[in-house]
Amino acid sequence: MAEQKIRAGVIAADNDKRLSALNADYEALGAKLSRGGIDIDTIAGKVAEFFVAVPSWGVGTGGTRFARFPGIGEPRNIFDKLDDCAVIHQLTRATPSVSLHIPWDRVDDPRRLKSHADALGLSFDAMNSNTFSDAPGQEHSYKYGSLSHASSATRQQAIEHNIECIEVGKLIGSKALTVWIGDGSNFPGQTNFTRSFERYLDSMKEIYKRLPGDWRIFTEHKMYEPAFYSTVVQDWGTNYLIATELGEKAYCLVDLGHHAPNVNIEMVVARLIQFRKLGGFHFNDSKYGDDDLDTGSIEPYRLFLVFNELVDAEYRKARDFHPAHMIDQSHNVTDPIESLIRSANEIRRAYAQALIVDRVALEGYQESNDALMASETLKNAFRTDVEPILAMARFKSGGAIDPVAAYRASGYRATIGKERPIVASGGGGII
């Protein structure tokens, strides 16, 4: 039995207040869905088995280029971060794994991470390397790049850092490495596009050689920031080239915030699925750029359309289709635990809505060129309030019917606020 950070009695008491309303809502939605030939219990069962990884950096308060405003009871180290991640999973039953970031989560003996996570009933998802900032005492600076740097010594240091991430990951049961680099340029002419990308590919090939046989490597594209004129891995086309150059263990990671405005991200997802190179996601949301806001808080329809492609691939039994689901957010004005609870729920909501799309009808409308009804078929699913399905999936898995309410009732934040002093800065960041 995993150690429980929130007393089971608190969750049970909150659930007791809500159960009869949930049963009524679930029954009503079940009747509605059954008229369309959908069994609500089947959908709830699939939702209960859909999981998303929480980023260790997400449980601390983030910041912007301008300032960081610390919150109460922020995690002081990776062990505190794992405790907070356990709270999110205990309440949502949707986040059993954590994505680590080196060096922010570096410890003397990584096996201590494994035993702490084991006690909490958590496991580890993809490892994240960091060659976009300089760690204290580092010999060569990444100011002008890392894996694509003009200096071979700097590139070698960046390669070795990624290999260290693999070695830590092996000790704690991770099976993937995510590489995102800040390499790029601020001005036309500052770097040579071709030579930078050649150097990047050569560096990545060195890392790829060290990847264990049962691991995958994810590369993450981003069109701008911190470099404001060009980045070395700027879009999904370049990302696809990387994955094909490296080999069968290399896949593209789609961070929802890393595209130009108005890019049809769901279509990018469809292409990567078709050519068997979709590695997974960094879920978040944005209004203007890489805002790293809570998933589904700005563009829930876009999130649904992404999941529509994922469920379509599931439905068609697409080959090599096993994307990793991870959240990548920065929480500046909310309690990070509450934001991550909400985000995990929104991801499951988009999945549930995509599951109830009438795919036979949709295909029929597509084949007969009925644009209006094809569009309405998607909108019908999106308009359906699937909250009773999400709540029932949580409840039946031992979680909370209303996880934010149960979290607030538990007083967890105030309790840890007494143990963890406020720090003005610390290992948070926006990636």
In angstroms, give the least distance from the CB of 362 to Mn ion: 31
Cβ at position 220, least distance to Mn ion in Å: 5
Q: Which is nearer to Mn ion, 249 or 282 (by Cβ)?
A: 282
Q: Which of 240, 295, 301 is nearest to 268 (CA)?
A: 240
Instruction: Compute the distance between CA of residue 9 and CA of residue 181 in angstroms, rounded to an integer.
Output: 45
- 101: β partners: 128
The rounded distance, in Å, linking the Cα atoms of 280 and 350 is 16
Report the nearest approach of Mn ion to the CB of residue 150 (Å): 26
The two three-digit tokens of residue 124, written as one number: 């580890």
Nearer CB in complex with Mn ion: 131/377 = 131
Is the Cβ of residue 55 or residue 145 nearer to Mn ion in the bound state? 55
d(C-alpha 246, C-alpha 238), whole Å: 12
Amino acid symbol at 357: V
For 299-406, list the strands marked E by DSSP. 324-327
Contacts of 374 (CB under 8 A, 6+ apart): 362, 365, 366
Between 14 and 255, whose beta carbon lies closer to Mn ion?
255
In the complex, the smallest distance separating the C-beta of residue 256 from Mn ion, rounded to whole angstroms, is 9
Rounded to the nearest 10 degrees, what angle do helices 78-92 and 110-120 cross at?
20
Distance of CA 319 to the CA centre of its chain: 22
Residue 255 or 291: the one with the smaller Cβ distance to Mn ion is: 255
Name the token pair of 5. Answer: 């950070």
Of 312 and 328, which has the nearer Cβ to Mn ion?
A: 328
Pairing of β 324-327 and β 278-283: parallel
Q: Which is nearer to Mn ion, 105 or 328 (CB)?
A: 328
Q: Assess contact for 333 and 285: CB atoms under 8 A.
A: no
Separation of alpha carbons 208 and 212, rounded Å: 9
Closest separation in Å from C-beta 370 to Mn ion: 38
Could you give the C-alpha distances from 53 to 57, 85, 98, 151, 245, in angstroms and in order?
Answer: 12, 9, 5, 35, 28
Contacting positions for Mn ion (CB under 5 A): 255, 282, 328
| Least Å from the CB of residue 187 to Mn ion | 25
DSSP assignment letter at 57:
G
Q: CA-CA distance, 97 to 80, in Å (whole number)? A: 15
Q: How far is the CB of 107 from Mn ion (least distance, A)?
A: 23
Output 285 or 328, the one with its CB closest to Mn ion.
Answer: 328
Contact between 285 and 294 under an 8 Å Cβ cutoff? The reply is yes
- C-beta of 125: minimal distance to Mn ion in Å? 13
